[in-house]
Amino acid sequence: MAYRTIIFDFDGTLANTLEESRRIFNQLGAEYGLREVTAEELPTLRHLSIKQLISHLGIPKRKVPAIIARGTSMMRGNIVRLPLIEGMAEVLPVLRSRCHSFGVLTSNASTNVDLFLRANGVRGHFNFISSTSKLTGKAKHLKAIRKTFSLKSEEMLYVGDEIRDVKASQKAEIPVAAVTWGFNSPEVLAAEKPDHLLTHATELLDLAPGA
């Protein structure tokens, strides 16, 4: 393996935003007439794809864009107080020294990501932050990044925590590492056959060995 560019998803992959996302969803849910999501329910929800999750929670498809936009805006108020995923602070500098470039591709807002990375002292490791407002629009962005950096597919790696991250990478024909510390469960991620399945941030170092 010779991954020159590693691109990270944000929520659940770099940032521990799960509980904050649940809090925001419940706050918005009261306004949109949606039921509350309890902490005890999260293990069950981890087995669902994004489409299954939307259906399970009874969210009308026409309301999804508005809920995402408002939720993203609300997260900005607390983003600097959210933690990095365990081990990332130590792993990122070492991993970055072994790669040509680092980036973030997320459905969160670029401003949120920038604020979070700066608050956690790791913004300088990243060359770019790319955002897509579409929940299933990452494949197109991955292809654009490949073209921008004049990379071969096998030189790129996308790191994400959801089924949709794996599917987007496969659609873009780019290697993908699925991480089990985020939203989707190890079982459903493994079923999607990612190139790599990681259980701790330190395992990222095995994907870009030092000289």
- What is the C-alpha separation between 13 and 88, in angstroms, rounded? 9
- What is the C-alpha separation between 189 and 194, in angstroms, rounded? 7
129 neighbors 114 (Cβ within 8 angstroms):
yes
Encoding tokens for residue 14? 């770099």
Give me the helices (H) in the chain, please.
18-32, 42-45, 50-56, 64-75, 88-97, 110-119, 138-148, 163-172, 186-191
Domain ranges of the chain: 5-16+83-207, 18-80
Give the pLDDT confidence of 114-164 residue by residue, as tens digits: 999 999 999 999 999 999 877 778 999 999 999 988 889 999 999 999 999
The CATH fold of domain 5-16+83-207: Rossmann fold (3.40.50)
The arithmetic mean of pLDDT across residues 90-94, rounded, is 97
pLDDT tier, 36 (very low <50, low <70, confident <90, very high otherwise): very high
For residue 110, the Cα-to-chain-centroid distance in whole angstroms is: 13
> Does the global pTM surpass 0.85?
yes
